[in-house]
Amino acid sequence: MARAPNELTAVEALAAMASGQLSAVALTRACLERIEARDSVVHAFAYLDPALALAEARSRDERPAGSLNGLPFGVKDIIDTHDMPTAYGSAIHAGHRPGADAACVALAREAGAVMLGKTVSTEFALRHPGPTANPHNPAHTPGGSSSGSAAAVADFMVPIAFGTQTGGSIVRPASYCGVIGYKPSFNTINATGVKPLAASFDTVGLLARSVDDCALVAGVLAGVRRNTPLEAVKPARVGVWRTPAWRHAETATVRAVETAAQQLARNDVVVTDVELPPEFELFLDAQSDVLRFEAARVFAFERTRRAESLAPSSRDELAAGAAIPRHRYLEAQALLGRCRVIFAAAIAPFDVLLAASAPGEAPAGLGNTGEAMFNRWTSGLRVPCLNVPGFRGPNGLPVGVQLIAALDDDARLLRAAKWIAARIGDEA
Amino acid sequence: MARAPNELTAVEALAAMASGQLSAVALTRACLERIEARDSVVHAFAYLDPALALAEARSRDERPAGSLNGLPFGVKDIIDTHDMPTAYGSAIHAGHRPGADAACVALAREAGAVMLGKTVSTEFALRHPGPTANPHNPAHTPGGSSSGSAAAVADFMVPIAFGTQTGGSIVRPASYCGVIGYKPSFNTINATGVKPLAASFDTVGLLARSVDDCALVAGVLAGVRRNTPLEAVKPARVGVWRTPAWRHAETATVRAVETAAQQLARNDVVVTDVELPPEFELFLDAQSDVLRFEAARVFAFERTRRAESLAPSSRDELAAGAAIPRHRYLEAQALLGRCRVIFAAAIAPFDVLLAASAPGEAPAGLGNTGEAMFNRWTSGLRVPCLNVPGFRGPNGLPVGVQLIAALDDDARLLRAAKWIAARIGDEA
């Protein structure tokens, strides 16, 4: 192999292990060496126990367990693990030892995957950032809240990592770090053992370096029985959905979306614009009301008993949520419900929609993980979406575009994304 | 007061405390004395820390906190508490110390309520029972999975207790123990910190001795701003819904439902039968498929890493769930979705529906908590329901009837239930 083991995608690494060219121990060791070399700059990991990871890898080599046998994976630190501490990105829970692995972790391990370590999350997946830097330029944010998962995958520390998205916490960091970020349809990957933020939107997803990897791992976790290799399928029709947030798109994002649309059209895909009715002008406010109302209850203990240990931005957000009366929450939920019905009809003529993944490239500084106004649509609608990297901004940092499919139409999204990912991006 | 403090309802106790006739410490002490006297027979509590409860009561007397100030409450042991161990009814998690209170616990405490102790749950809210006995006859089951919460409230150990229902875990034990059991609409009380069983159905609710108590406490937890005293409202139209499970109704349940219907009719309520279309013949199988598929993932860690410490009935249930392929899960979810739409139309002409709460009175023996075929409808439909006690079976044990309202129409359910509860029941 020309590439180092830690540079392989998950599907490539699994094939190399199945054919005996690579052992789980060697792969895990390569990942750990990359982390050792780079994590003092990137700070992707919140917790690492190399001996534990290597022991798990060794047992996979000795007793192969399933379709992910020997595959190293990273776990966002808001996801419980029984043998590594889980602090939810918060000083309040520093050193906390959960009594069980989260469902996604236990299922990945049941299939033979090797847990490498815990990746940095913003505090409770809210806005307050951890120490993670963008591997493409450590003076820039990696995005958040799945900061460490996106950075670790981008920096070849691990082929795949769990993230979660409630607002924009998978697709935005994926765009900033130049990797695939896949937020499945709501309730595709069981969320047990993931610290909630707003249960109406919380979705477990994946950061990876190939669409195939997302399809493979999500299929195992979702309980798909016949998990055949992902086929690339050319979409017949793609809609370009700029959303009411389009005025926030910077030049780099505008150029990425328009270029991708032109590249698809040149490949004989029918590309047309999508406009949604006025309900969608109220959508982001409604999504915010629901998120904050629920978060104020999710973190009732921390808000009422540990407020002094919350970041000011978390405290403000939770206080804002506690001030929302129930009738406004129910009205916001009703609006989102209507928008889901409208969206289902609007997307029906298309295979997928093309949209912005983020306002632009990763902003400078580590104090702010960027804005989610291009992501909260899919979170509120509960539909699957995926960041396809391939473009660069004015500072040479990655810029991706977002593909979106109808609810529970993840298979179509992934097949189209595989086809599209090979055909869009900056031209040499 | 003629009655002992521990015999007061929550609303009565709060009024007595507000007027200075009763202190939080005196009320908590009365509850603890009742537990001391009776719990060697009833076994309602999984964990009790009298000193901690009294200290919390004392601080409520010194610094009143909110609208539930000084009110003792019990907490089902699948609900996290930061200062009392939470074992989820399982040997696997014996002595587990969660890092935070569940949302419902933190919100109740924020409003001034006093956590008395943890009540017995079946193992993971599945079928394997704990040691709790029915306070009306300790040779009979109290029902489950909220066994300890129902028994503690019925035996005047505490005015109100948290329960959860995924299949029939609130309304059935309420019927067996002769208390009010209120399962609100799905997502009324935030479920953060409650060990999931099947997130599509899991609902936090209340066991209490009056409808008013349920309305008061649920209102605080749900974030209702103007929480005015509950008004009893006569329903104009009540539908009798026997459900496709009616052949399982024993004589005592048939008599309770028919008597209640006649008593309503005598009070000039229009009472008519409700029939639902053939989709509902498939409903219970679909509800079971969804529950088991999700439970197999929720408990992936316990199933794959701690199987030897699971009760055989839990192990069987989780294995059955792991064998369900995803496409069958999605078909079952789709059927339940259609049934929710049908049900919303069917219930629209009625204020509430009247139904069975359980097949009959509590079965003999503590090895089995009874059957949920009259409860899984409302769990799958996500609609609010409430057990109204008032009847007795052949062994002199309680038998209740169930009232059901449309999704998020909890206010109507509670108002009608208050009116109905005063007008139905065995006649002297």
pLDDT at position B362: 98
Kindly list the distances between the CA atom of residue B20 and the CA atoms of B2, B26, B31, B229, in Å, as whole numbers in the listed order.
16, 11, 18, 20
CA quadruple A119, A125, A130, A136: dihedral, nearest 10: 70
Cβ atoms A167, A375 nearer than 8 A: yes
Q: To probe the interface with A, which of B301, B306, B324, B330 has the most A CB atoms within 10 Å?
A: B301
* Residues, chain B: 428
Question: How many CB atoms are closer than 10 A to CB B284?
Answer: 18
- Give A83's DSSP letter: S
Alpha helices (H) along B270-325? 283-298, 300-305, 312-322
Catalytic residue among A146, A169, A185, A314: A169
What pLDDT, on the 0 to 100 scale, is given for residue A326?
Answer: 94
* B19 annotated active-site: no
Q: Which residues share a beta bridge with A204?
A: A164
pLDDT at res. B218: 97
What number of other Cβ atoms are within 10 A of residue B118's Cβ? Answer: 27
pLDDT, residue A231, reads: 97
Within B103-148, strands assigned E span 114-119
Please say if B145 is a catalytic residue.
Answer: yes
Domain covering B8-222, topology: Amidase signature (AS) enzymes (3.90.1300)
On chain B, the residues whose CB falls within 8 A of the CB of A107 are 297, 300
Inter-chain CB pairs, A–B, below 8 Å? 111
pLDDT in tens, B365-380: 999 999 999 999 999 9
Residue of A nearest to B81 (CA): A301
**Nearest chain A residue to B200, by CA:** A187
In the block, tokens 């598929």 appear at: B293
Alpha-carbon distances of A31 from A56, A89, A220, A292, rounded to whole Å = 14, 23, 22, 38
Q: State the nearest Cα–Cα gap between A294 and chain B, in angstroms.
A: 7
A199 CB neighbours in chain B (<8 A) are 187, 190-192, 199
DSSP code for A323: T
Tell me which chain B residues have a C-beta less than 8 angstroms from the C-beta of A190: 199, 294, 297-298, 300
**Catalytic (active site) residue A145:** yes
Structural domain boundaries in chain B: 8-222
List Cβ neighbours of B72 (8 Å cut-off, separation of 6 or more): B27, B28, B31, B53, B57, B113, B114, B115, B116, B158, B159
Backbone angles phi, psi at B326, to 5 degrees: -55, -35
The CATH fold of domain A1-428: Amidase signature (AS) enzymes (3.90.1300)
Of B101, B107, B199, the CB nearest to A191: B199
Inter-chain CB proximity A300 and B199 less than 8 Å: no
Cα-Cα-Cα-Cα dihedral sign, residues A302, A304, A308, A310? positive
Label residues A78-117 b or e (16+ Cβ within 10 Å = b): bbbbbebbbbbbbebbeebebbbbbbbbbbbbbbbbbbbb
Over the stretch B89-133, which tens digit does the pLDDT of each residue have? 999 999 999 999 999 999 999 999 999 999 999 999 999 999 999
d(CA A88, CA A79): 7
Closest residue, chain A, to B324 (C-alpha): A223
Which of A106, A225, A325 lies closest to B301 in CB terms? A106
For A331, list phi and psi in degrees, rounded to 5: -65, -40
| A100–B93 CB contact, under 8 Å | yes
Cα-based distances in Å from A9 to A151, A158, A208 = 15, 9, 8
Question: What's the gap between Cα A169 and its chain centre?
Answer: 6
Q: Are B76 and B119 in contact (CB under 8 A)?
A: yes
Q: Kindly tell me the sign of the dihedral angle through the C-alpha atoms of B198, A106, B78, B172.
A: positive
Cis peptide before B145 (omega within 30 of 0): yes
A375-409 core/surface letters (b: 16 or more CB in 10 A; e: else): bbbbbbbbbbbbbbbbbbbeeebbbbbbbbbbbbb
The SS3 assignment for B343 reads helix
Distance (Å) from the C-alpha of residue B116 to the closest C-alpha of chain A?
17
Min Cα–Cα distance to chain A from B149, Å: 22
Chain B residue numbers touching A297 (CB-CB < 8 A): 103, 107, 190, 192, 223
CA angle A42, A45, A47 (to 5 degrees): 150
Catalytic residue (one of A76, A118, A183, A195): A76
* Chain B interface test: which of A185, A297, A330 (most B C-beta within 10 Å): A297
Q: Which of B107, B225, B305 sits opposite A300 (nearest CB)?
A: B107
Asked if B192 lies within 8 A of A298 by C-beta distance, the reply is yes
Please state, in angstroms and rounded to a whole number, the distance separating the CA atoms of residues A200 and A180: 24
Mutate which of B88, B115, B297 to test chain A, going by most A C-beta atoms within 10 A? B297
Q: What is the pLDDT of residue A2?
A: 72
Q: Give the CA distances from residue B109 to residues A63, A309, B10, B88, B191, in Å, rounded to whole numbers and listed in that order.
A: 49, 19, 15, 21, 16
* Interchain pair B190, A300: CB under 8 A: yes
- Closest CB to B297: pick one of A107, A305, A325: A107
Which residue in A100, A105, A223 is closest to B326 by CB distance? A223
> Quick one: pLDDT at residue A228?
85
pLDDT of residue A201: 98
Token match 């004589």: residue? Answer: B251
Among B79, B84, B190, B305, which would you mutate to test the A interface (most chain A Cβ atoms within 10 Å of its Cβ)? Answer: B190
Contacts of A7 (CB under 8 A, 6+ apart): A156
Contact (CB, 8 A) for B69 and B63: no
- Please indicate, yes or no, whether the overall pTM of this predicted structure exceeds 0.95: yes
Residue ranges in chain B whose pLDDT is less than 50 = none
Q: How far is B361 from chain A (nearest CA, A)?
A: 35
Tens of pLDDT, residue by residue, chain A (428 residues): 579 999 999 999 999 999 999 999 999 999 999 999 999 999 999 999 999 999 999 999 999 999 999 999 999 999 999 999 999 999 999 999 999 999 999 999 999 999 999 999 999 999 999 999 999 999 999 999 999 999 999 999 999 999 999 999 999 999 999 999 999 999 999 999 999 999 999 999 999 999 999 999 999 999 987 778 999 999 999 999 999 999 999 999 999 999 999 999 999 999 999 999 999 999 999 999 999 999 999 999 999 999 999 999 999 999 999 999 999 999 999 999 999 999 999 999 999 999 999 999 999 999 999 999 999 999 999 999 999 999 999 999 999 999 999 999 999 999 999 999 999 999 87
